[in-house]
């Protein structure tokens, strides 16, 4: 196993039970923060443990400048990996209810931030798994403690100071993964200000999908190259509402063979925590 972006339900099913594999259920519902964990307790991919977006993949003790889902500290994330039974030698597969946005891609990106290469997202998530009639389990695993001690690579994270510094440049260096109506500022159900960061272009994470699965790599490569223009992927910054669905675009680009884009983790919610920062609306 050397899955680094996506894995199909069939390939994951064939690998179940292998000692080097760890599966993590990341299902989450924004409107009901406990719904994902309840669903895991009722039924999950055999052997899968659970990681909670709010408790495990975020640090809500941080101030508003870090956004609605602030990144956890590396030490706290290491402790999660130990609890999940993960070591640097494991192949890790994360999944959520379906498209990867809540919050398998976030877990994937955090592991990549910690330097873990062999981590992938189950393409189509639990919905694709069950649609194919693959086995499920209600037994809650008790993994042997893992071993992990890694820092986060700061070069993969864009800072607010960098975003501020790039505002005068040509548009297109920032991709916003939110829905078009939120990007344009027509509605804003979650944050106190509507609109987007000046210079951003909209790439809704849903555009990465077709029928609940990720589009073929060559299709995504063509779409992202059209957005990149003359830029390299490393020049691109990814954002969303709170740094979660931005990871979906990072995953799609990795699947497309275009790794290197960085995530602005505070994203829109962190940006508007300072009302003096500029806001754009429309397309």
Catalytically active residues, by annotation: 240
Per-residue HEC secondary structure of the chain comes to: CCCCCEECHHHHHHHCCCCCEEEEECCCECCECCHHHHHHHHCECCCCEECCCCCCCCCCCCCHHHCCCCCCCHHHHHHHHHHCCCCCCCEEEEECCCCCCCCHHHHHHHHHHCCCCCEEEECCHHHHHHHCCCCCECCCCCCCCCCCCCCCCHHHECCHHHHHHHCCCCCCCEEECCCHHHHHCCCCCCCCCCCECCCEEECCHHHHEECCEECCHHHHHHHHHHHHCCCCHHHCEEECCCCCCHHHHHHHHHHCCCCCCEECCCHHHHHCCCCCCCCECCC
Residues linked to residue 281 through DSSP beta bridges, in sequence order: none
Residue 234, number of CB atoms within 10 A of its CB: 12
CB of 203 closer than 8 Å to CB of 177? yes
Residue with tokens 């020049």: 235
């Amino acid at each position: 196993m050397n899955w680094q972006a996506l894995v199909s339900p069939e390939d994951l099913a064939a690998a179940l039970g292998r000692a080097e594999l760890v599966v993590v259920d990341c299902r989450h519902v924004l409107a009901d923060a406990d719904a994902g964990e309840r669903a895991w307790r009722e039924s999950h991919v055999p052997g899968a443990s659970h990681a909670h977006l709010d408790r495990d993949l975020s640090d809500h003790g941080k101030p508003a400048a870090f956004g609605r889902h602030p990144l956890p500290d590396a030490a706290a994330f290491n402790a999660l990996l130990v609890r999940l039974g993960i070591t640097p030698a494991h192949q890790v597969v994360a999944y959520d209810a379906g498209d990867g946005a809540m919050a398998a891609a976030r877990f994937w990106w955090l592991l990549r931030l910690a330097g873990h290469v062999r981590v992938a997202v189950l393409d189509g998530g639990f919905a694709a798994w069950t649609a194919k009639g693959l086995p499920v389990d209600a037994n809650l695993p008790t993994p042997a403690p893992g071993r992990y001690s890694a820092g986060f690579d700061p070069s993969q994270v864009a800072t607010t100071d960098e975003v501020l510094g790039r505002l005068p440049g040509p548009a297109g260096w920032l991709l916003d993964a939110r829905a078009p109506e939120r990007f344009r500022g027509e509605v804003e159900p979650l944050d106190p200000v509507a609109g987007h960061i000046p210079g951003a272009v909209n790439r809704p994470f849903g555009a990465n999908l077709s029928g609940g699965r990720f589009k073929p790599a060559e299709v995504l490569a063509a779409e992202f190259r059209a957005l990149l223009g003359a830029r390299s992927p490393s020049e691109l910054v990814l954002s969303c509402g709170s740094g979660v669905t931005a990871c979906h675009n990072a995953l799609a680009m990795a699947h497309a063979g275009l790794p290197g884009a960085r995530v602005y983790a505070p994203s829109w919610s962190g940006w508007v925590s300072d009302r003096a920062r500029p806001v754009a609306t429309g397309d």
